[in-house]
Amino acid sequence: MSDVTSRSPAVDAAALAHVLRRLARAEGPPWLHQELARRMAERLPVIKQAPQSWLDWWGFTGASAQAVQAVWPQARRSIVEPTVALAERSRQALQSPWWAWGRRRLQASVCLEADVPVGQSQMLWSNLNLHASADPALTLAQWHRALAVDGFVMFSTFGPDTLRELRAVYAELDWPAPHPAYADMHDLGDLMVHAGFADPVMDQEMLRLTWSSPEALLAELRGLGGHLGQGRPAGLRTKRWRERLLQALARRADSQGRIGMSFELVYGHAYKAAPRPARGAPVTVSLDSLRSTLPKRHR
């Protein structure tokens, strides 16, 4: 297997902390996250055994509670957040009146990543946050530890063709890339195997969104997060810099005056298999198990 861990996205921890503080102050989760939650939930009926409990990783921005609980209403939901502020937003959301959620209030517990119980949940759900991890290999290892044996993970994340048009604009202006590199789905599959997951299944689809103006485009991209790359400019951008960006985006408008951006959406699914005995380690087999393998006349 190639050394995929050395090609992890170069996310800047300070930039990520800043973005998470801003997302905790937002009115709600981004629209794109809500749409991806719906699309991911459409895949759940193929799972034969409904989980008794599931972890909603970065649940506030993931916007997945209604989509998952519409399929499995009896499964116990535990929300996992990366910061205290986002954990508080999730708690506030749980206090909303029942009519804000539909026919009944959604029940859940809330904890931070460091406090997730080991090996207890049957499903871990992560909607559009793996690309924001400073160490995807470490995050996948966390997910693996959190799951019970035979539990499974389902996640979505951005693929490398996401915002290729925006990267082209920045390249034309001779600016560094506007975001860290997004991992290829094949590399993510290798990372899952490296973390201990079994039978990873990867899939992707392309989504194209358009906006009526450069300002509307930039406002929505800001709502999705921000530039998390370690190569991001250290200082604030000037008004002249912003005007150059707006003009460059406007030149890419189509005949209807709309500006389009591509989003490559990568989906992953894998199981946590029972640990295998180390090579050379003794294997214990009960006498009853041996007897069950013999023909009846020899028992």
Tokens matching residue 209:
């969104």
Please give the C-alpha separations between residue 231 and each of 12, 22, 178, 239, in angstroms, as whole numbers.
8, 20, 9, 21
Helical packing angle, 13-24 and 84-94, nearest 10°:
20
Domain assignment present for residue 294? The answer is no
pLDDT in tens, the chain (299 residues): 444 444 444 788 889 999 999 999 999 999 999 999 999 999 998 888 899 999 999 999 999 999 999 999 999 999 999 999 999 999 999 986 544 544 455 679 999 999 999 999 999 999 999 999 989 999 999 999 999 999 999 999 999 999 999 999 999 999 999 999 999 999 999 999 999 999 999 999 999 999 999 999 999 999 998 888 877 776 677 899 999 999 999 999 999 999 999 999 999 999 999 887 656 556 555 656 556 656 655 55
Token couple for 238: 């000037």
218 located within any domain: no
Beta bridge partners of 57: 80, 126
Query: Is residue 94 one of the residues assigned to a domain?
Result: yes
Q: What is the CATH number of the domain that holds 136?
A: 3.40.50.150
- Domain of 47 in residue numbering reads as 4-163+182-207+264-275
Query: Measuring CA to CA, how many Å separate 18 from each of 23, 153, 225, 247?
Result: 9, 28, 10, 27
**Is residue 249 in some structural domain?**
no
174 part of a folded domain = no
Residue 169 falls within a domain, yes or no? no
H or E element in which residue 267 lies: strand 259-272
Would you say residue 234 lies in a domain?
no
CB 89, CB 20: distance < 8 Å: no
- How many domains are contained in the chain? 1
Query: CA 272 → CA 145, 149, 253, distances in Å?
Result: 9, 5, 46
Domain-embedded: residue 222: no
pTM of the model: 0.86
Q: Which of 33, 9, 36 is nearest to 220 (CA)?
A: 33
